Amino acid sequence: MTRPLSTYSTRARIGLIVPPTNTVNEAEWARILPEGATAHSQRMALHTDTTSPAGRAALKDDLDATVAMLAPMKPDVVAYACTAGSMLVPSETLGAEMTARCGLPVVTTADSIVRALRALGAARISVVTPYARKTNAHEVEFLAAHGIEVLAIAGLGIGAGGASEFPLIAQTPIERIRALVADTFVPGSEALLITCTDFPSLPLIDTLEQDLGVPVISSNTATLWACLGHTPGGRAGIGIGGRLLRGA
């Protein structure tokens, strides 16, 4: 896409769509983005029904309106950064349809995770989440539908009591996530996935890769990795966020 450069967005300009309570995605991307790449966010209602025709139609209508709010700043790509809200099968369908509908490249977190794991050659993984059992089970089914076997998964149970609990995800102490990984990761896993764009895990990723000896990706690193693949500057020059983003 040809677009005018701006003072700070000399390399890439990304449109970012996050759920209303999310306070982690933007903060982690701000730490990772290379010089000259910028992200510009818009909030959108959380869609919990992505299986019924009516639920999917409502999600796409909201995405249409939200992408339209981002379009005037001429992004190279737009990310729908919601893991559970984008777990449609096949994973690429939502992004492809929104790209066609909106005339801008659109990526989704769920599809970014699938593509990232495939790029890393990881078909058997361990997963940690902030979610309750129902959402974890949905994620296992989603990954299995794309040829990815979950050897172990554990969540913190947030959301079991309803959407009012969702702000607690961003408040999770980093050390609690580290302990969850230690209790969950099983030998034979070819990668560790830390899922949910509001789950604060960036400070752990490089250390966990050293400790576990496998790639570690999060919803946020996978989504940014996918976005930068659509930008003129690509992924060069990133020093944190694990093997996926460093290209190591």
Reported as a single tens digit per residue, the pLDDT across 115-125 is 999 999 999 99
Indicate if the alpha-carbon torsion angle 194, 197, 200, 206 is positive or negative: positive
Indicate if the alpha-carbon torsion angle 216, 218, 222, 225 is positive or negative: negative
Instruction: State yes or no: pLDDT of 161 exceeds 60.
Output: yes
- Measured from the Cβ of residue 129, the count of other Cβ atoms closer than 10 Å reads 27
Domain ranges (residues) in the chain: 12-111+222-246, 122-217
Predicted TM-score (pTM) above 0.75:
yes
User: What Å distances lie between residue 83 and 5, 7, 95, 221, 234, CA to CA?
Assistant: 30, 32, 13, 12, 23
Instruction: State yes or no: pLDDT of 97 exceeds 70.
Output: yes
CATH code for residues 122-217: 3.40.50.1860
Q: Do 122-217 and 12-111+222-246 have the same topology in CATH? A: yes
CATH code for residues 12-111+222-246: 3.40.50.12500
Reported as a single tens digit per residue, the pLDDT across 5-29 is 688 998 899 999 999 999 999 999 9
Mean pLDDT computed over every residue of the chain: 94
